[in-house]
Amino acid sequence: MPSIDHSLVSEIRERFCNVDKCPISGERIFFENAGGALTLRSALETSTKFAAIPDNQGRDNFASHTLNNTIKKAKSDLRILFNAQSGEFFMGESGTELLFRLIRNAVTASPPGGSIVGTSLEHPASRSAAKKWSGEMKYTYVSVPHDIEKGIVEAENYADKISETTRVVTIVHASPVTGMGTKISEISRIVRKKAPSAFIIVDGIQHAAHGGIDVESYDIDGYVISPYKMFSRHGFGIAWVSDRLRNSPHEKLDDGPSDNWELGTRDTGAYATMSNVKDYMCWLGKEFTTEEDSRAQIEAAGAAIQDYEKKMTNAILYGVDNLKGLTDFEEVEIIGGANNPSREGLVSFRIKECPSEEIVRYLNRQGIRTHTRKCDHYSGNILAPLGWDDCVRVSICHYNTQNEVKKFLSSMAAFADK
């Protein structure tokens, strides 16, 4: 299969803002993509344009009609991007807020008594919502333990936790701490067998930038992303809900349309950036397929991203040219193990007896941005069972280059020699 090569990476980088220079702190290599991906230039232009338009949607004038049509187009582009032929998209304050809203509404629309099933691999956004609402509804919260060594959750581990009174199931598509992906369809198949009417809600926030969302194949009821982690910008989240969840009782304005999940006036420009993301994925996909169909192009882009990111994380782990990889350094431990087929563009590691903050601070001084994950309410679910206080998270995207990995590895070598 053809791959993203040196000259295509250069073209890709031209399409993004602040690729090698931060407007606040100057030149840097950006390996903090799990904290927020780079923004497309087109998304910036779109945001700027719409931010200055005072008109509101739903008025009878040309400007207002255009705003409505822009949102309509963005929703139809989201359908292609997510491969969602049914259901509905809507916007919320953030990924976290949307996960809370979906879980809350799914629970309150369900019959009394029963359980919510989630996994210890999840981000606290979905876990907190599920625990809070299982308490409110007097449900039992059931936790599916993740595989601590591999940093994943196996589908079959959900099996014995699901019963016919399971009302809601939560799944994380990829962990922002271990970096490992989850097989959504395998889990939903297990859930549907025992609890066909349970609502299945997926947190796709970490996975979204790493190649391929295919809602049609998942058999789920909710999927949430944070657009700033998928080449758009901060300030909003996007959710998809199945027809069944959309049409179930939910928070809405009295006497308003019964299937509407939007709460208040939407930011047209924010919606419009999702068309930019879709167009970008199609542009990239055309490098790998001659198909005219947008969805085929998006799938081709997704496959190319996965392939490229695998090569990049392998370079981080095993070295490149004559540079040692992380696995060659003494005392380095990798979350999930080095050889892990579930990895999605992220490597978390520690050097035994060395505070991760020191490594992150050193790398930062070398112009390489990574992040310390601490054993706190965000990452304790992953780090505490390992007995780790912290780790260094190196998170890449398909616009990062091999030269950036080389700079990272030589800086790590210098750190180890100190």
Ligand X SMILES: Cc1ncc(COP(=O)(O)O)c(C=O)c1O
Nearer to ligand X, 211 or 319 (CB): 211
Q: How far is the CB of 416 from ligand X (least distance, A)?
A: 29
Distance CA 147, CA 97 (A): 27
* Residue indicated by tokens 């030269």: 403
Minimum CB–partner distance for residue 195 and ligand X (Å): 23
**Residue 167 lies near ligand X (rule: CB under 6 A):** no
Give the footprint of ligand X on residues 212-241 (CB under 6 A): 226
Closest CA to 347 of 409, 403, 413: 409
| Residue number, 350 or 393, with CB nearest to ligand X | 393
Transcribe 71-127 into DSSP letters: HHHHHHHHHHHHT-SSSEEEEES-HHHHHHHHHHHHHHTSPSS-EEEEETTS-HHHH
CA 388 vs CA 118, 178, 351: distances in Å: 23, 13, 11
268-285 vs 294-318: helix crossing angle, rounded to 10:
80
The least distance separating ligand X from the CB of residue 177, rounded to whole angstroms, comes to 8
Binding of residue 123 to ligand X (CB under 6 A): yes
Supply the minimum distance, in Å, between the C-beta of residue 344 and ligand X: 11
The tokens for 135 are 């308490």
Q: Nearest 5°: CA angle at 227, between 226 and 229?
A: 75
The whole-angstrom distance between residue 416's C-alpha and the CA centroid of its chain comes to 32
CB of 101 or CB of 295, closer to ligand X? 101
Q: Is 365 exposed, middle or buried, given 0-12, 13-18 or 19+ CB atoms closer than 10 A?
A: exposed
State the minimum distance, in angstroms, from the CB of residue 221 to ligand X. 17
CB-wise, 176 or 325, nearer to ligand X? 176
Residue 145 Rama label (left phi>0; alpha psi -120 to 50; beta): beta
Task: Single out the segment in contact with ligand X by CB under 6 A; choices: 130-138, 163-171, 203-211, 246-254.
Answer: 203-211
125/405 with CB nearer ligand X: 125
Rounded CA-CA distance 337/334 in Å is 5
- Quick one: 64 or 372, whose CB is closer to ligand X? 372
Residue 381 binds ligand X (CB under 6 A): no
Beta carbon nearer to ligand X, 283 or 378: 378
Closest to ligand X by CB, 121 or 338 = 121
Kindly state whether residue 32 participates in binding ligand X, applying the rule CB under 6 A: no
Instruction: Point out which span in 47-55, 153-161, 200-208, 387-395 binds ligand X (CB under 6 A).
Output: 200-208
CB of 95 to ligand X, least distance (A): 4
Q: Among residues 102, 129, 172, 359, which is the contact residue for ligand X, using CB under 6 A? A: 172
Kindly state the smallest distance separating residue 135's Cβ from ligand X, in Å.
20
Residues 61-120 contacting ligand X, CB under 6 A = 94-96
Q: Please report, as residue ranges, which positions from 391 to 410 form the binding site for ligand X (by CB under 6 A).
A: none
For the bound state, the minimum distance from the C-beta of residue 360 to ligand X, rounded and expressed in Å, comes to 17
Identify the residue whose tokens are 């206080």: 389
CB 28 within 8 A of CB 367: yes
CB 99 within 8 A of CB 203: yes
For ligand X, the closer CB: 250 or 393: 393
Does the protein bind ligand X through residue 342 (CB under 6 A)?
Answer: no
Which residues on adjacent β-strands are paired with residue 141? Answer: 116
Q: Tell me how far, at minimum, the Cβ of 296 lies from ligand X, in Å.
A: 28
Note whether 206 binds ligand X by CB under 6 A. yes
Give the interface segment with ligand X, choosing from 24-32, 149-157, 202-210, 245-253 (CB under 6 A). Answer: 202-210
Total residues contacting ligand X by CB under 6 A comes to 11
Closest CA to 288 of 306, 275, 274: 306
Name the DSSP class of 338.
S
* Residue 32 tokens, joined: 């903090």
* Cα distances (angstroms) measured from residue 85 to each of 21, 59, 186, 239: 39, 29, 20, 14
- Least CB distance from residue 61 to ligand X, whole Å? 34
Which residue, 181 or 325, has its beta carbon nearer to ligand X?
A: 181
Q: Which amino acid is at 133?
A: W
| Binding site residues, ligand X, CB under 6 A | 94-96, 123, 125, 172, 176, 203, 205-206, 226
